[in-house]
Each structure stands twice: as C-alpha cells, then as structure tokens.
Chain A
Amino acid sequence: MFHRICSVTALAVALCPPASAAEVGESAFNPAFSLILSGSYGSLQRAPAIPATGFAMNPNPGHEQGFNLGESEMGISANIDPQFRGTATLALDPAGGISVENAFVQTTALGDGFNLKFGRYFSGLGYLNELHAHAWDFSDQPLVYAALWENQLGEDGLQLKWLAPTEMFVEIGGEVGKGRGFPGSDRAKNGSGAGVLFVHAGDDIGIEQSWRAGASLHRTRRVDAESADVPDLNGNAVTNLFSGDSQTVGLDLVWKYAPDGNLRNSYIKVQTEYFRRKESGELSYDTVGANITDSYSVTQSGWYVQGVYQFMPRWRSALRYDQLDPGSAKVGALNAGNVIADYAYHPTRTTWMIDYSPSEFSRLRVQLAHDRSRQGLTDNQLFVQYIMSMGAHGAHQY
C-alpha cells in the first residue's frame, strides 16, 4: 500500500522524503490514526454482578467471565489549524455499536502555560483517571475507581489548565461539565452540573527518580439517582432514590525509578491514590414499596497502593492492594429502621499480574486477584489479557 502511495499520490511528499527528514508532528499520517485491539479471558468464583459490601448504591462495573472481546479503541488525532488540535477516541463495543469515549478539542497556541480543552474528555482528577484502558498496569481499575468513579470519570464540558513558569512542574486546572459520569446524574439543564479542581506538582530527583503528586476536588449535585437491589435492614433488596450534594477529595502520588534513568532495561513505579466522598441529601427508601423519604448522609472512601517492576526488558510484574470504607451513614429517623447505616466491613483485594511485551506495540498479561470486597464471598480471580496497538505511534503520558 505504501509503495502505491509513494509512487502515485501527493502524500509521497510527506511519506517518502528523498533526502532529509522534513519536520513532522507525531506521525507522517495526517490525521494520526491508531487502533487498539484488546481482549481477555476471565475466570471468577463468584458472580461479578454482586457489588462490594456497603457499595450497593454505587456503580459496579464488575468483570467479564469467559472469553470476551474487550473494547477495541480507535483513535484519531490531528491539528485542526494553527490554533486547535482535535482528538477522538471511539470505543467499539463487542456487542456492536460505537460509543464516543473522548472527542475533544485542545488549544495549541494560547501560550503562557494555558491549555484549554473542550468536548468529551476524561477528567484530570487523580492520576489514573486520564489514562486509557490500554495503558493501565492491571486489567482492571482499583476498587476505589470502580466504586467511586465507575472506573473512570468522563465528562462533557471544558477544562482549563495553567502550567506555572517555575523550575518545578506545578499545574493547576479546573473543569466545568455536564456531570455526565457517576457521581453526576447527567441532567439536562442550564449551567454546570459538576465541577473539578486539581493541582499537580512533580519533578526529578537526580536522573534516576521522578515523581508527581496531585490533589483534586470534585463537586456535583445528584438528582433522583436510582439504585436497585440495595440490601436493607429487613433482609430485602429494594430500590432507593437519592438526591443531594456530592463532594469528593482525592490525593495521588506516583514515584518512578530506573537505573541511570533508562527505562528500557528495568524500572520501578509505585503509585497510590486516596479518594473520600461525602454525600448528603434526601434518600427515598423502597420507591416501589414503602417509599419513605428522609435525610441521608454518608462519607465513603477508598485507597490503593501498587508497585510495578520491570525486572528485565519486555517483562513486568506488579502487585496492588485495594481497600474501601463504606463509612457509617447518618440516616433520618423515618428510615432508621430500614436503611443499613453501618456495614462494619472494609472491602479489600490483593492483585498480582505479570505481563510480557514482545514489542512496544503488543502486550500479553496474566493477572490473579484475591478479592474480599464482598463480605463472606471471597473470590479468587484469574484474567488473561492481550493489548495490541496498530497505526500511529502514540505518545504516552507520564
């Protein structure tokens, strides 16, 4: 195909320079086009639909059992004109259909450290939130991301970041959006449905170590958020409705080490994140039955710590520990006999993985997890995964 391009089309100028290498952006292709193919095999001892104890009113992205095609992800990006750059990431659902994961425009010429992004994007909160699934170090997200952000917070809105002109990397950013992803409730109304503030700082320590630390704040108002199959004090599973304010604070830290700063041979990466969410408002208990509404507030939190070790070229192994705290809720008097206020259980999980990358563009992974996120339902999980990328050579974030 490229022979043909070289011989017959005007693209030959870009693709087949006769002598010197003309300055190009990230690829000779315009736009840069890439496709990620991924799939997995999952073996679980427990039904993945059961949520973590104390988190029945949160999303439960769960896992797939048996052989399944993961999301294939198609990415297209290019400079639109001297002022704007566009990026679209389309997820091809294995069951058919295409969903828009990211579709945003970024400014390229604001200068003075300002970066404006608008459209649909992954929020800049935390560390893992902005990373696409193919760049994760495990085949799944930490429990805290699964329970508090439904794996990843995507937003329709705009984000403004400013990078300070300092020796050390210091970046502050803010977002306003629709409140599309959980815990937002995707309302159609004027104004902003959710807001995010974040600050990142980072630097090198000598040539072998580097780090980045961050703090974030997310606020939204949840309206008529319905949760089904929530256990109650009477031993039933009911449907509840919650409306109220949601405020989440987060802290994240990443530290990397490579001998001589050379990532090719070996490196270590340690990261940890903590999120704490306070929700307060009105809860309607058992909307299809008793339907009793009274005040409800709860503070949920969770954290994980993980380490990745590339012990030789092409081979990496990693260990992760996860913990959640469902908190103890303040339940209004009318519902005190119905709604479980304190589960007295902290969901945890320990995960180990090993992966092998024959080249920069392919990766094969085996992952084992000992999951105690559901009280009395210990689950040993096995995942086998492949991630392959084609097309434009993507540049990765830190």
Chain B
Amino acid sequence: MKNLLFAISLLLFSNAAHAALNVFACEPEWAALTQQLAGDKASVYTATTALQDPHRIEARPSLIAKARRANLVVCTGAELEVAWLPVVLRESANGAVQPGGSGYFEAASVVHMLEVPTRLDRGAGDVHALGNPHIQTDPRNFIPVAEALSQRLIQLDPANAATYRQRFADFSQQWRAAIAKWELQAAPLKGVAVVVQHDGFPYLNNWLGLHEVATLEPKPGMEPSAAHLSRVLGSLQQHPARMVLRAAYQDERPSEWIAQRAPVAAVELPYTVGGSDGAGDLFGLFDDTVARLLKGLQ
C-alpha cells in the first residue's frame, strides 16, 4: 500500500516537477513560441494545426477538456477565434484561464494591428473589428509578443523566473539575427506584385514590401466564385503579378486555376509552424516562407 501511494504521488508530482505550466495554445505559432520561451517548464497543447482554418474550428469536447486543465491560454485574439474559443473557455469552467485574467493571453494585444476597419459592415465580408488577425506572417511581431508572453510566464510561475528571462534573452537575440538574415535574402521580393487567395498576408506584405494587387476571395471569408476569379484574371492583364499566395490550409484550386491561365506562380506558404515539411519550428517557418517566395520569383 505504501509503495502504491508512493508510486501515485511520484506519478502526480514528477509530472508537475517537469512541467509547471499546462499551456493551451490556439495556434501552432504560439505553441512553438511558448515552448521556445518556457522549455521544459511548460507542457504545451496546440488546439489547431497548420492545415486547419483557425476561423472555422468547432468547440470540440477534446478542446474543452484540455482548457479545463490549462494554467495559461495563449491565442491570437482580435476575433480570430471568436467562433469557438468563447464556448471552449466557458464550458471548461476553469476560472484560471478566463478572458481578463492572468491565465489568458492574446498575442494581438501587443502588436501593431493592420487593416483596422473604419467601417464595420458585414457587407464587406467577415471583417475583424480589431484589425487583420493574421499577425504571425511578420517575424518582427514575435518580439513584442515574446516579451509580453515571457512576462506572463514569470507572473504565473515566479519560481522559474530566471529560466524564463534567460530563454527570452536568448530567443530575442537569435530572432533578431534571423530577421536580419531573412530580410537580406528576401531583398529581391521588394515591390513584387502578388495576388493573395485570402486577405491573410498584410503583415507579410508589409514586412517584405510585397505589393498586393488582387484577392481571390471576393470578400474576406467568402469562397472565390468562378465569376470573381474571371474578373481577377482580367485585372491581371492590366496589373500583372508574379505570384498567387495561399496558406497551407486553403483549397489549392482557386490559386491553381489562376496560375494555369495567367503567367503567375502559385505559391503555397506554410503560414504557421507545421504548414510544410520545412516549417518544423519558428525559425524553419520563415526560412521556408522566404525560400518559397524566392522560388516563386524564378
């Protein structure tokens, strides 16, 4: 009996000793960043994969069960997860991770948002009142997010503050060096005209100086129709583009349709960690994104 109790307590507490924090990350990029900043101090669960549209996730029982056990929820925010996260958090009945509390972190809250609509009207499609939520396509956004997230980890787990500080300092240094490298590699992309499938790349465009000339979705969140694709094709006669960009989770048919009819290259970008074989971690995500864009130029 004594042995059994010992075994049980070992099982319970050894787990706790290895990973102090149970983290529920909405998207793979925030899971990767949290792991980068917390190392073995956190056990991170990722609610979505790179092949899933983060707008269209259901409040599945498994997500509710994971949120129930979480100490920290790390999400994009800016209404990206509005269709499912509120239900998950409410049903989880976990007081620690409710919005407004210290166990709830939104990356978009510390990033300079682009495309904040001046007109909130669904006639314009599924617009996000707080701006375009796809902030993870600009690596520069990861610096303020990492800093705020690191602060949050310290607040929740002060015993390991030194580790979090050290890991943030290391990440910050490596990341800044990597950004400089990517910007150098991506210099030929400056001013290149591109078409995008979903309005999901303003941060990438802003970072690399890509020039967006058309969108395949007639309005954000609406599927590209044949009529709209024909119009885009027509407009490409006057404003030619070099590439048509889409995220790994998006249907390839609209981009391929355009690529077959106009002299543009269809480029699938990983969009987040796990979106391609090369995008195994945060560094790989941008290595691969830049490489694929450069390949699209050829």
A contact residues vs B (CB 8 Å cutoff) = 2-3, 6, 15-17, 19-28, 82, 85, 106, 108-115, 161-163, 165-170, 200-204, 207, 210-212, 256, 260-265, 313-314, 358-361, 390, 393-398
Among candidates A22, A166, A360, residue contacting B130 with C-beta atoms closer than 8 Å:
A22
- Chain B residues near A115 (CB, 8 Å)? 90-91, 93
Q: How many residues of B contact A (CB 8 A)?
A: 63
Q: Is B62's CB under 8 angstroms from A203's CB?
A: yes
The closest CB in chain B to the CB of A256 belongs to: B58
Closest 8 A/B residue pairs (Cβ):
A202-B61, A111-B95, A169-B61, A21-B130, A169-B65, A260-B51, A21-B108, A21-B78
> Taking the nearest CB of chain A, how far is it from the CB of B29, in angstroms?
16
Instruction: Say whether, besides A21-B106, A113-B68, A395-B87, A313 and B60 are in contact (CB < 8 Å).
Output: no
> Taking the nearest CB of chain B, how far is it from the CB of A173, in angstroms?
11
Q: Is A3's CB under 8 angstroms from B119's CB?
A: yes
> 16 A-B residue contacts at CB 8 Å?
A6-B118, A16-B118, A17-B130, A20-B108, A20-B111, A27-B129, A169-B62, A203-B62, A204-B62, A261-B48, A261-B49, A261-B52, A393-B82, A394-B83, A398-B60, A398-B61
- Chain B residues near A256 (CB, 8 Å)? 58
Query: How long is the Cα–Cα vector from A106 to B90 in the complex, in angstroms?
Result: 9
Q: Which B residues, 131 to 178, have Cβ-Cβ distances below 8 Å to chain A? A: 131, 133
- Chain A residues near B86 (CB, 8 Å)? 25-26, 395
Residue B281 at the chain A interface, CB threshold 8 Å: no
> Taking the nearest CB of chain B, how far is it from the CB of A89, in angstroms?
15
Instruction: Say whether, besides A263-B58, A398-B58, A167 and B65 are in contact (CB < 8 Å).
Output: yes
Among candidates B48, B79, B87, residue contacting A397 with C-beta atoms closer than 8 Å:
B87
Which of B34-42, B97-105, B230-238 faces chain A? Answer: B97-105
A24-B130, A210-B62 known, 13 other contacts, Cβ within 8 Å: A15-B129, A20-B113, A23-B77, A25-B99, A27-B129, A163-B65, A167-B65, A203-B61, A203-B65, A256-B58, A260-B52, A261-B51, A264-B249
Q: Is A3's CB under 8 angstroms from B122's CB?
A: no
- Chain B residues near A2 (CB, 8 Å)? 118-121
Q: Is B65's CB under 8 angstroms from A21's CB?
A: no
> Taking the nearest CB of chain A, how far is it from the CB of B147, in angstroms?
13
Residue B295 at the chain A interface, CB threshold 8 Å: no
Q: Is B82's CB under 8 angstroms from A26's CB?
A: yes
Residue B109 at the chain A interface, CB threshold 8 Å: yes
CB-CB contacts of B40-54 with A at 8 A, as 1s and 0s?
000000001101110
Instruction: Say whether, besides A15-B120, A264-B53, A163 and B92 are in contact (CB < 8 Å).
Output: yes
Q: Is B58's CB under 8 angstroms from A396's CB?
A: yes
Q: Which of A22, A25, A360, A395 has the most CB of B within 10 A?
A: A395
> Taking the nearest CB of chain B, how far is it from the CB of A391, in angstroms?
9
- Chain B residues near A165 (CB, 8 Å)? 68-69
The closest CB in chain A to the CB of B69 belongs to: A165
Residue B195 at the chain A interface, CB threshold 8 Å: no
Query: How long is the Cα–Cα vector from A262 to B55 in the complex, in angstroms?
Result: 10
Residue B116 at the chain A interface, CB threshold 8 Å: yes
Q: Is A396's CB under 8 angstroms from B84's CB?
A: yes
Residue B125 at the chain A interface, CB threshold 8 Å: yes
The closest CB in chain A to the CB of B79 belongs to: A393
Among candidates B53, B77, B223, B249, residue contacting A21 with C-beta atoms closer than 8 Å:
B77
- Chain B residues near A361 (CB, 8 Å)? 122, 126
- Chain B residues near A263 (CB, 8 Å)? 52-53, 56-58
The closest CB in chain B to the CB of A6 belongs to: B118
Query: How long is the Cα–Cα vector from A105 to B56 in the complex, in angstroms?
Result: 27
Q: Is A359's CB under 8 angstroms from B69's CB?
A: no
Query: How long is the Cα–Cα vector from A20 to B110 in the complex, in angstroms?
Result: 6
> Taking the nearest CB of chain A, how far is it from the CB of B6, in angstroms?
22
Residue B263 at the chain A interface, CB threshold 8 Å: no
Residue B64 at the chain A interface, CB threshold 8 Å: yes
Q: Is A202's CB under 8 angstroms from B62's CB?
A: yes
- Chain B residues near A211 (CB, 8 Å)? 61
- Chain A residues near B100 (CB, 8 Å)? 23, 82
Query: How long is the Cα–Cα vector from A254 to B85 in the complex, in angstroms?
Result: 20
> Taking the nearest CB of chain A, how far is it from the CB of B155, in angstroms?
15
Query: How long is the Cα–Cα vector from A252 to B107 in the complex, in angstroms?
Result: 38
Query: How long is the Cα–Cα vector from A86 to B141 in the complex, in angstroms?
Result: 36
Residue B7 at the chain A interface, CB threshold 8 Å: no
Among candidates B52, B95, B118, residue contacting A262 with C-beta atoms closer than 8 Å:
B52
Residue B2 at the chain A interface, CB threshold 8 Å: no
Instruction: Say whether, besides A263-B56, A264-B249, A22 and B109 are in contact (CB < 8 Å).
Output: yes
Residue B183 at the chain A interface, CB threshold 8 Å: no
Q: Which of A27, A111, A169 has the most CB of B within 10 A?
A: A169
Query: How long is the Cα–Cα vector from A21 to B90 in the complex, in angstroms?
Result: 22
The closest CB in chain B to the CB of A14 belongs to: B129
Query: How long is the Cα–Cα vector from A256 to B219 in the complex, in angstroms?
Result: 28
Residue B210 at the chain A interface, CB threshold 8 Å: no
Query: How long is the Cα–Cα vector from A204 to B125 in the complex, in angstroms?
Result: 31
Q: Is B85's CB under 8 angstroms from A28's CB?
A: no
The closest CB in chain A to the CB of B112 belongs to: A19
- Chain A residues near B10 (CB, 8 Å)? none
- Chain B residues near A167 (CB, 8 Å)? 65
